[in-house]
Amino acid sequence: MEDAYVRSVSEVLDFFGVDSTKGLSDSQVLQHARLYGKNVLPEEERASFWKLVFKQFDDLLVKILIAAALVSFVLALINGETGLAAFLEPSVILLILAANAAVGVITETNAEKALEELRAYQADIATVLRNGCFSILPATELVPGDIVEVSVGSKIPADMRMIEMLTDQLRVDQAILTGESCSVEKDLESTKATNAVYQDKTNILFSGTVVVAGRARAVVVGVGASTAMGSIRDSMLRTDDEVTPLKKKLDEFGTFLAKVIAGICILVWIVNIGHFRDPSHGGFLRGAIHYFKIAVALAVAAIPEGLPAVVTTCLALGTKRMARLNAIVRSLPSVETLGCTTVICSDKTGTLTTNMMSVAKICVVNSVQNGPAIAEFGVTGTTYAPEGFIFDSTGIQLEFPAQLPCLLHIAMCSALCNESLLQYNPDNGNYEKIGESTEVALRVLAEKVGLPGFDSMPSALNMLSKHERASYCNHYWENQFKKVSVLEFSRDRKMMSVLCSHKQTDIMFSKGAPESIIARCRNILCNSDGSTVPLTATLRAELESRFNSFAGKETLRCLALALKIMPMGQQTLSIDDEKDLTFIGLVGMLDPPREEVRNAILSCMTAGIRVIVVTGDNKSTAESVCRKIGAFDHLVDYVGHSYTAAEFEELPAMQQTVALQRMALFTRVEPSHKRMLVEALQNQNEVVAMTGDGVNDAPALKKADIGIAMGSGTAVAKSASDMVLADDNFATIVAAVAEGRAIYNNTKQFIRYMISSNIGEVVCIFVAAVLGIPDTLAPVQLLWVNLVTDGLPATAIGFNRQDSDVMKAKPRKVGEAVVTGWLFFRYLVIGAYVGLATVAGFIWWFVYSETGPRLPYAELMNFDTCSTRETTYPCSIFEDRHPSTVSMTVLVVVEMFNALNNLSENQSLLVIPPWSNLWLVASIILTMLLHILILYVPPLSILFSVTPLSWDEWTVILYLSFPVIIIDEVLKFFSRNSNGIRFNFRFRRFDGLPKKELRDK
């Protein structure tokens, strides 16, 4: 029944055919169970394990690599190779792909946990009226039409319409669903609001929320998927995971690279058609297979096999650094997404605020004779921890607050006229509440005021254990005063009173709405001397003015406290007793902002990141918080910047677009609005981060480019998020964004390093094929260079230092290419030199080396006809392992020098020296040691078709390799000056990536 909130109680009962005094009959229960289904959130059908595995291989580059591995294996068999030589190359490729697939499967499996944990918020049992009798049943057996009784501490088992109040009031904590910081008072009246949000449905009890005060009966109107929790589940199921900007760019780059590779491979094969019939191949078909094998080797050289592994490793290193900042990353790619975040949609309650009501102001009457009549005190401390101080209006801390009469009696009243509990939970190290958050705030205030008569008491309290300290002062007052009678809060009186007995004196303490308490007061307690004097009209007006200031301008939730000396021996209280009271004081409380948030908001603005505060709270309260945290500092007025969900939905489409670009506050929202906001911002090309902690935040967290959950939040929110803030601190997001930007910069550096290296390998093979000289590198040698020699330095580049101005730059555009036109040109030049140097090393050994054959260059070009003509050298010289060893070593060493070029995109090595990243230096040393190992250890040298080199050969290798640093220094110089910009314009249209489906700003 979707519209139960607008129906009367009798209409709802008639709809389900139920008698409120008897409940459903057994036959009705069976009928309704068939009609409406079970009260459980249905499990979503999961993708099979093998479907997830195959999904990881649905990538063009991966498919090309698999094809290359299979072709390599088939060609090895055709050539008669057996054993390790035939299986090595395809096995290594397949192992890499299997490792990447495993990471992907694990990530996707974790994503399904959010839906499972949503079920944890369903109640286990319910007190149900059936066949005229109450019984306790599993909540899963509830059906629409069931009459359920709920009381303090009950978890609501289904969506229910209130039908009967059994106490004066019923209050429910709906924070996990709506984000409201205060509990909500429920009633029986039908809702008149059109387009009512959850907060407006005051006659509905929502599944998963908790009763904090009162007792009532309600009729079930929605079960399972038809509840508010069910709609959140459906919203999460409809939300597809967003592809991160880096993943999108890498996918696009992979598609582009695959097309280029295919084109080059076909080109190499076609260029050599004339050589298919060369006698050295033994026939046209064998010649075609030989050059096809070269084309496969080219594919292996061009595809950066180690790129996924290196990207994953770099992101993992970033997550470790972020974990030290209390930002726990659940999804590796989201680390990089932080770097281009343009909008942070932040939940207010529990994220920007502590989600713990706290007394911030106290107002008492000081004296009616001397000085100002009204005195105000400030209270520090923003959590339920009994830690904080009280300051007078001049900012001086009170050493012993309990020595002041009004503060002492405020502490008494706060402790005694109270139904809540405050306790310390050693498992999570936090102070926790049971009951109304406003009442717990009063208990904490009593602890901060302390006890009278002991000058050393403040220091003595600090010596207690946290468990004892939680309610030590409250327990003191409860032991001093015996509670005799309680007059509960009611909506018409708007106050609560308790009768206490203490040393032959009976006192009634009262608390409630200031307008109700002040109207019932005849006297006031003076803070200066503890005297009681009549409450004059002037003082009454002054108190009401302070109350209006607290509630209006400062948007504090206010309570007034009072007392009355009662006749001895009275055992009960009546409404008639609540008159002729003595006013003690006025307290103003709020859900206080976190202290660090203001600076964090400022950092976001400096970094070009817009913050939109999103909350289920009312507009005035939220605007007050925004003023306190600085979210409105840049605004002259709030018109056009602050909207309720209803106001926003009423705007025409064009005005909604404009509003989204200016919005700083979005109030009275429910889960669907948060998800809508994220989608709308994404449609405007924004990269959206959404923070939250409640169940209600989960769909938006999942939909956002990066979902950020609070460590103290619900398990559902954490599972739907990409990142969890262990300290619940909004300021941690700013540090995480800086880290994300640094990680992206380093990611770009090692991607460019690997691209330039692979371009070098492609140039090497292509030039050798065009020149008609023997194969410079064997496929297994290329694989070694791609995996080991490229991989280690590329990973170490991830440790490059963070730029000092990383948070002063604007967010990068989502469509910004990983390799732009000018940079592609730069790395094309570097890659060309790497390839030419590798070929030069190969030719040098044949033509100029003293240990080589010193062949004329023409002989080298005609090596394939050696067996058909007379020569002064044996044809076996072309099978010598020295030339390929020299070329392979040139390739390794030149890439080590190229790694040093990538310490910075544009800064010279003279400015950022190699030792600024010791990890890179260590990786270069380790790589060279591994390379020397395969050169000089016989089993490995045979496996990789290499041989030991002499010192003269090493000298030539260094001469051929070092110029790559000089070339890149020249290119960096152009990048730092106007020439680089001119080149950038020339190559702007080509960034190495397709343009479709980009959300480019």
Residues assigned a catalytic role? 347
3-state SS of 125-166? EEEEEECCEEEEEEHHHCCCCCEEEEECCCECCCEEEEEEEC
Contact partners, residue 981, CB within 8 Å, separation at least 6:
none
Which is nearest to 229 in space by CA: 712, 702, 696? 696
Strands 147-151 and 215-222: antiparallel
Tell me how far apart the alpha carbons of residues 761 and 755 are, in angstroms, rounded to a whole number. 10
Dihedral Cα 784, 787, 788, 792, nearest 10 deg: 160
Residue 934's closest CA among 978, 1000, 898, 884? 884
At position 417, the amino acid (one-letter code) is: C
| CA dist 660 → 676, 683, 699 (Å) | 11, 11, 20
Residue 242 and residue 705: Cα distance in Å, rounded?
6
CB 774 within 8 A of CB 768: yes
Q: By three-state DSSP, how is residue 481 classified? A: coil
- Owner of token pair 């996924």: 308
Structure-token pair, residue 331: 């999804």
| Residue 125 in tokens | 């049992």
DSSP 8-state class, residue 702: H
Query: In whole angstroms, what is the distance from residue 295 CA to residue 285 CA?
Result: 15
β partners of residue 508: 499, 564
Q: Which residue has the tokens 């949503």?
A: 118
Residues with Cβ < 8 Å from 335, sequence gap 6 or more?
Answer: 315, 318, 319, 322, 329, 739, 740, 743
Q: Which amino acid is at 646?
A: A
Rounded CA gap, 112 and 719, in Å? Answer: 8
CA distance 534 to 729: 48
Q: How far is CA 34 from the centre of its chain?
A: 41
**What is the distance between the alpha carbons of residues 290 and 281, in angstroms, rounded to a whole number?**
7
Distance between start and end Cα atoms, the chain: 45
Q: What six digits make up the tokens of 614?
A: 């999103």
Write the DSSP assignment of 817-841 as a string of letters: -SS-HHHHHHHHHHHHHHHHHHHHH
Instruction: Compute the distance between CA of residue 470 and CA of residue 447 in angstroms, rounded to an integer.
Output: 8
Closest CA to 322 of 343, 338, 341: 338
Start-end of H helices in 902-962 = 918-936, 938-943, 951-961
Burial of residue 636 (CB within 10 Å: 0-12, 13-18, 19+) is: exposed
CA angle 925, 927, 930 (to 5 degrees): 110
**How many Å apart are CA 711 and CA 733, to the nearest integer?**
13
Pull the structure tokens for residue 872.
């002064």
List the one residue out of 740, 603, 807 whose CA is nearest residue 321.
740
Kindly report the number of other CB atoms within 10 A of residue 639's CB atom.
8
Length of the chain as a residue count: 1001
Contacts with 395 (C-beta within 8 Å, 6 or more apart), sequence order: 378
Strands 327-329, 723-725: pairing is antiparallel
